Amino acid sequence: MTKKIKKARSPIESLPPCPNRPNCVSSQSTDPRHAIEPLRYDIPISKAHQKLLKILKNMPRTKIIKEKANYIHAECRTRFLRFVDDLEFLVDDTDAIIHVRSASRVGYSDLGVNRKRVEQFRREFETELAKSKEKDKTGKKR
């Protein structure tokens, strides 16, 4: 009996573009109303990936949907109306950046929720990077 081998899908190369509504931000967008800076890292990619997952797992109302070596997709539910927003990360290890996209699935405006979510995530990611560097300097956990 032969075993079928699933072909590996090619790695994801870009995040979906933002729709023509002010309820999405993306580090791959050139439109100023959607543009946001990518996350930057200076630790091994495996550690950066672990830190992304750690933060996502601690975010309230957030569920990781898909995880690949260079891509993570999570769903975030809004606090009051429980709308689902998509939060995606795409690793570009060549440039040591992580592209990010946060978008509402429904509605026209998100009142800045997606931008705030990404900026909060960035602060937490930078804090985790700093902890990692401190740990590497001292050789032990803080």
d(CA 75, CA 136): 32
Please give the residue that has the higher pLDDT: either 14 or 4: 14
Tokens of 135: 């740990």
Mean pLDDT across the stretch 11-21?
Answer: 90
Distance of CA 89 to the CA centre of its chain: 3
Distance CA 110, CA 80 (A): 13
Looking at domain 24-137, which of 3.40.50.2000, 3.30.1360.70, 3.30.310.80, 3.40.1440.60 is its CATH number? 3.30.310.80
Indicate whether 132 pLDDT > 90: no
In this structure, are residues 15 and 28 in contact, taking their beta carbons and an 8 Å threshold?
Answer: yes
pLDDT at residue 97 above 70?
yes
Q: What is the pLDDT of residue 9?
A: 53
Predicted confidence (pLDDT) per residue in 106-120, tens digit = 999 999 999 999 999
Residue 5's pLDDT is: 36
Question: Which percentage of the chain shows pLDDT scores above 90?
Answer: 79
Q: What is the C-alpha to C-alpha distance for residues 126 and 120, in angstroms, rounded to an integer?
A: 10
- Identify residue 98 by its one-letter amino acid code: I
The whole-angstrom separation of Cα 16 and Cα 124 is 24
Give the residue extent of every domain in the chain: 24-137
43-80 pLDDT, tens digit per residue, is 999 999 999 999 999 999 999 999 998 999 999 998 88
DSSP string across 19-32: PSSSSEEETT--ST
- Report pTM: 0.87
Q: CA 98 to CA 125: how far, in whole Å?
A: 11
